[in-house]
């Protein structure tokens, strides 16, 4: 699991009074920082491999300023050339948002889907969502 | 259907070279401007009724700077106290992203779910996704 | 003068109730869309010439959701390799924010400052801030 | 001095390849988190006192993804009802951006400027920019 602490920003609130819903995908992407580094040199975008195919977000409790938010990212599934993430945001000790994101691993040269290498599969192993935990977390 | 033209911003691109995926929910929310006005005075957030419960985004083609993007918002379903939107972004004449968003209609006073009023149902009628179109658009 | 209409977004408000101050530079950059196109093909970032050196923003009235905002961009000064912009945001018929931005024109190849070409100077002429207007607008 | 570590986000880069210039005011506001808490309960926006009157940003080096950024906030001056901040962003051990921001302290009730209380002045004392440092930092 990759874990990051996020400090909500005033600019991320909205006039309804809480964190605006559109901020949540931004936080989830921010929480993938160390995951991205597994797929290539993080400062060389010409070698970028990770293209988002789809994502879902479910809101369970409102997120507010300024209490810190814990973002957790698990790899739920590694397909041939794709990857599914399970992600959660926790604030005040409770889960506030859950997300599922599908990435395609592309060749930096051809921009076409490419098999996730064994090296990357190996590096992601410690971050896989355990099967038992999966049914609880997504139910 | 609610339709809005969105001009991509340089600040909405990312170093991979296209519009960052996290921008898409922002554009969809921007495209709901006239929908929000149906639910209450748009400049009085103390009367705000629309709370996002969940959303999904599917990316079909990359979005790029600077060609204009057409955002379209249909109401797919009105439940008792909830609302499902079907939304699309088109650029260069093709559909690039599709989204489904669930809103809960809350009482501004109690913040609890409240039945969508007949007045609002009536006002949304012209914006409903036709059933035949639905199967095509979401398939 | 380059003029753009900007529709404030709910995600651009903050919990204080107005448009968050950090959104204003984003809107000003958005309003430079046609200016950027003078400096090179807007869809080819490898040829990008415009690097921000500094900017100032003065807030004169609060900006709110959802009334449309008119953004105006003038070229105040063209130096050897630099450019100063004078920009304004108007809402409800009054000026709400004024900005001055300095850009450096760089060579896309060397990333070093480069003289603004005669072709670009000529293309910017219709967008220069008139001297008389300048003293009024910046006073 | 208030100090915060900021982790650049992919969504904060732009297609030119670095952190987009509009992100810098967002980071500076994020770095004021503990400063804001001095002015009132941070989770009660109805008691918010801090309204931005103006700001300047000077860029000294480009900011890039993903190396951590250190943001530092000093109080440069406390006027009757106003406050000037001196702020800096450092990455890879060098100063990349400097900012000066003017805030007005308003009464939460009347929204009119109000004298900064002695209690707040006292709490800000340890965060004042030393005079000698000032001339170096802003030169």
Walk along chain C (139 residues) and give the pLDDT tens digit of each residue. Answer: 999 999 999 999 999 999 999 999 999 999 999 999 999 998 899 999 999 999 999 999 999 999 999 999 999 999 999 999 999 999 999 999 999 999 999 999 999 999 999 999 999 999 999 887 777 777 6
Q: Cβ contacts (< 8 Å) between B39 and chain C: which residues? A: none
Q: So what's the pLDDT on residue C139?
A: 60
Alpha carbon of residue A4 to chain centroid: 11
D68/A contact by beta carbon, under 8 A:
no
In the predicted structure, residue B70 carries a pLDDT above the cut 70: yes
Question: How many angstroms away from the CA of D135 is the closest CA of chain A?
Answer: 30
Question: How many angstroms away from the CA of A134 is the closest CA of chain D?
Answer: 27
In the sheet where A82-91 sits, what is the strand order? A2-6, A69-78, A82-91, A94-105, A50-59, B50-59, B94-105, B82-91, B69-78, B2-6
Q: So what's the pLDDT on residue D135?
A: 72
Q: Cβ contacts (< 8 Å) between D67 and chain A: which residues? A: 43
C58 within 8 A of C99, measured Cβ to Cβ: yes
Cross-chain residue pair B25–A29, CB shorter than 8 Å: no
Question: How many angstroms away from the CA of C83 is the closest CA of chain A?
Answer: 29
Strand partners, D19: D13
Q: Cβ contacts (< 8 Å) between D40 and chain A: which residues? A: none
Q: So what's the pLDDT on residue B64?
A: 98
Residue of C nearest to D18 (CA): C51
Question: How many angstroms away from the CA of C45 is the closest CA of chain D?
Answer: 6
Give the Cα separation of D132 and D127 in Å (integer). Answer: 14
B48/D contact by beta carbon, under 8 A:
no
3-state helix, strand, coil in chain D (%, to 5): 25, 35, 35
Q: So what's the pLDDT on residue A135?
A: 72
A18/C contact by beta carbon, under 8 A:
yes
Residue of B nearest to A18 (CA): B51
Q: SS3 of B55, please? A: strand
In the predicted structure, residue B139 carries a pLDDT above the cut 70: no
List the single residue in C21, C54, C56 with the smallest CB-CB distance to D59. Answer: C54
Question: How many angstroms away from the CA of C31 is the closest CA of chain D?
Answer: 13
- The DSSP output letter for A93 is T
Cβ neighbourhood burial of D132 (10 Å; 0-12, 13-18, 19+)? exposed
What's the length of chain D? 139
Residue of D nearest to B20 (CA): D11
Q: What is the mean pLDDT of chain B?
A: 96
Q: Cβ contacts (< 8 Å) between C11 and chain A: which residues? A: 14, 20, 22-23
Q: Cβ contacts (< 8 Å) between A39 and chain D: which residues? A: none
A58/B contact by beta carbon, under 8 A:
yes
Cross-chain residue pair D29–C21, CB shorter than 8 Å: yes
3-state helix, strand, coil in chain A (%, to 5): 25, 35, 35
Neighbours of chain D (3+ CB pairs under 8 A): A, B, C
Domain boundaries defined on chain A:
2-138
D40 within 8 A of D52, measured Cβ to Cβ: no
Count CA within 13 A, CB hemisphere, residue D126: 7
Q: Is the pTM of this model over 0.90?
A: yes
Cβ neighbourhood burial of B8 (10 Å; 0-12, 13-18, 19+)? buried
A22/C contact by beta carbon, under 8 A:
yes
A23/C contact by beta carbon, under 8 A:
yes
> Count of A–B CB contacts within 8 Å?
52
Cross-chain residue pair B13–D15, CB shorter than 8 Å: yes
Cross-chain residue pair A11–C20, CB shorter than 8 Å: yes
Cross-chain residue pair D66–A11, CB shorter than 8 Å: no
Q: What is the mean pLDDT of chain D?
A: 95
Pairing assessment for the beta strands A82-91 and A69-78 based on DSSP bridges: antiparallel
Give the Cα separation of A118 and A116 in Å (integer). Answer: 7
Cross-chain residue pair A10–C23, CB shorter than 8 Å: no
Cross-chain residue pair A11–D29, CB shorter than 8 Å: yes
The 10s digit of each residue's pLDDT in D60-93 is 999 999 999 999 999 999 999 999 999 999 999 9
Alpha carbon of residue D58 to chain centroid: 13
Kindly give the parts of chain A with pLDDT less than 70: 139
Q: Which of A62, A56, A61, A53 is nearest to A82 (CA)?
A: A53
Alpha carbon of residue C33 to chain centroid: 9
Cβ neighbourhood burial of D61 (10 Å; 0-12, 13-18, 19+)? middle
D43 or A79, higher pLDDT: A79
Give the Cβ contact number of residue B64 at 10 Å: 18
Cross-chain residue pair C25–D21, CB shorter than 8 Å: yes
In the sheet where D2-6 sits, what is the strand order? C2-6, C69-78, C82-91, C94-105, C50-59, D50-59, D94-105, D82-91, D69-78, D2-6
A21/B contact by beta carbon, under 8 A:
yes
Cross-chain residue pair B7–C4, CB shorter than 8 Å: yes
Q: Cβ contacts (< 8 Å) between D66 and chain A: which residues? A: 33, 36-37, 42-43
A84 within 8 A of A138, measured Cβ to Cβ: no
Peptide bond into A106 cis (omega under 30): no
Residue C103's region, left for phi above 0, alpha for psi from -120 to 50, else beta, is beta
Question: How many angstroms away from the CA of C22 is the closest CA of chain A?
Answer: 7
In the predicted structure, residue B137 carries a pLDDT above the cut 80: no
Q: So what's the pLDDT on residue D139?
A: 60
Q: So what's the pLDDT on residue C133?
A: 72
B13/D contact by beta carbon, under 8 A:
yes
Architecture of domain B2-138: Roll (3.10)
Question: How many angstroms away from the CA of B66 is the closest CA of chain C?
Answer: 6
> What string of H, E and C letters represents the secondary structure of chain C?
CEEEEECCCHHHECCCCCECCCHHHHHHHHCCHHHHHHCCCCCCHHHCCEEEEEEEEEECCCCCCCCCEEEEEEEEEECCCEEEEEEEEEECCEEEEEEEEEEEEECCCCCCECCCCHHHHHHHHHHECCHHHHHHHHC
């Amino acid at each position: 699991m990759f874990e990051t602490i996020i400090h909500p920003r005033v600019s991320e609130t909205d006039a309804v009074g809480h964190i605006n819903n559109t901020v949540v995908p931004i936080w989830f992407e921010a929480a993938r920082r160390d995951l991205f580094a597994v797929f290539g040199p993080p400062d060389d975008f010409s070698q970028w491999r990770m293209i988002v195919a789809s994502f879902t977000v479910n809101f369970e409790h409102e997120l507010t300023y300024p209490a810190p938010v814990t973002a957790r990212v698990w790899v739920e599934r590694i397909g041939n050339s794709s990857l599914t993430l399970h992600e959660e945001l926790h604030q005040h000790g409770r889960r506030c948002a859950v997300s599922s994101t599908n990435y395609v691993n592309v060749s930096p040269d051809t921009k076409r889907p490419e098999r996730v290498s064994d090296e990357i599969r190996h590096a992601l192993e410690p971050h896989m969502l355990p099967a038992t935990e999966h049914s609880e977390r997504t139910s």
